[in-house]
Amino acid sequence: MLKKKVFGGAVSLSWALALLGAPAVFAGPMDGNSGDVMLQGFHWTSYQTSPWWSIVQGKASDIGASGFTMVWLPPSSDAASNEGYLPRQLSVLNSRYGTEAQLKSAIGALHTYNVKAIADIVINHRVGTTNWADFTNPTWGSWAVTRGDEWTSATGNADTGDGYGAARDLDHTNATVQGDLKSWMNWLKSSIGYDGWRYDYVKGFNGSYVGNYNTATVPYFSVGELWTDLNLANSDAHRQQLMNWIDATGGKSTVFDFTTKGILQQAVQYNEFWRLRDSAGKPSGAIGWWAAKSVTFIDNHDTGPSTSGTSQNHWPFPSDKVMQGYAYILTHPGVPCVYWVHFYDWGHKEAIKALMSIRKAKGIHSSSAVSIQVADTSRYAAIITGTKGSVAMKIGPGDWSPGAGWTLGTSGTNYAVWTK
């Protein structure tokens, strides 16, 4: 893979070309200047509120009025697991979240309020209908499973990524697997109404296949979940992995900015706000290198705290500092993703809406310029330039003001946002 040194770090050639204003590698909002804000439209135990699709449908008007332009929905295929992440029959859309008809109604309601529906695409692995690998809908044989899988009867080619022990790893090099997945995804668009894809567990297969599937399906939006260990002593290596994956897709997908999540929660928890500025003076997450391809977030169904069982508590953001996190991601570049639990269950709805309203009013977008003013042991402050004005923000217990000419837009415990 070609690399180029930019701002002291090795980044993808595609990123370097984008920075220099070269022609976009993929049409649509993933190229930059996107004002999209996404809502994760579920949590880990949403299936227990059945049918969840009807809950989403009932919230569609409020979701649109709140300023969200996309909702990421949970896996909708028949699955061996309640949550949907052990897919069984891909083309059967009756799940613990509801029926196919209820899903279509929910998506239709979202569309009524100009909100796009993003499907959770679980294609790294699959389970059989009654045993290890008797795949139906679509029907596949042992050739569809990577050689060396824990199912010893697998006859496919070697895995192109990390293994996944709870299900059979799919052979994405196989033309039939590729063709069936493309047909299924295009059917999800044309018949069910989905607008884009959230790819689950993309470290399990090479990113080039995501590029291939996106070329064949032309989603409005695409984002991959590349979740790897973060070493805070070398965070550049972590965001370089994200850059490499984006580059492997041919620049045809965004990626969740796990680097920003890890650094941001470390900063607010331990007053280490200096971590939020890299050696080049830029944001230290993926948004500092390729913001247009970065989806920022605070928590999701995996990482979040296990309050009421809604998340798995794998890597939770400090619960009492969640709004500092949103004050950061909703004023900074990238495409922000808000967690359902924070918005609808934790009482942060109005505070988050205020931040979203400022973002939209000042035209802050996925490639907005950031000028970091201070990043030390008590505060982080930055000025972000939008298409309709500028935003100044501060998080942390330390004092900071942007000076004369600014108007306080919103504030809360240890955060404030001004407009100009």
Active-site residues: which are they? 200, 225
- Comparing CA positions, the residue from 109, 286, 295 lying closest to residue 197 is 295
- The angle at the Cα of 22, spanning 255 to 238, to the nearest 5 degrees, equals 30
Q: Are 231 and 263 in contact (CB under 8 A)?
A: no
SS3 label, residue 211: helix
d(CA 418, CA 74) in angstroms, rounded, equals: 35
Helices 322-329, 349-361: axis angle to 10 degrees equals: 10
**77 neighbors 90 (Cβ within 8 angstroms):** yes
CA distances from 221 to 105, 202, 335, 342 (A): 21, 16, 11, 23
No. of helices (H) and no. of strands (E), the chain: 11, 19
Angle, alpha carbons 245-247-251 (nearest 5°):
110
User: Looking at this protein, which amino acid is placed at residue 123?
Assistant: I
SS3 string of 121-144? ECCCEECCCCCCCCECCCCECHHH
> Under a CB-based contact definition with an 8 Å cutoff, are residues 380 and 372 in contact?
yes
Bridge pairing between strands 380-385 and 369-375: antiparallel
Phi and psi torsions of 177, nearest 5°: -60, -50
Give the residue among 242, 268, 267 at the shortest CA–CA distance from 15.
242
Both tokens of residue 380? 């982080």
Query: Does residue 330 sit in helix, strand or coil?
Result: coil
- What tokens were used for 314? 């794998």
Q: 360 with 329: CB under 8 angstroms?
A: no
Q: How far apart are CA 171 and CA 417, in angstroms?
A: 48
Residue 204: strand, helix, or coil: helix
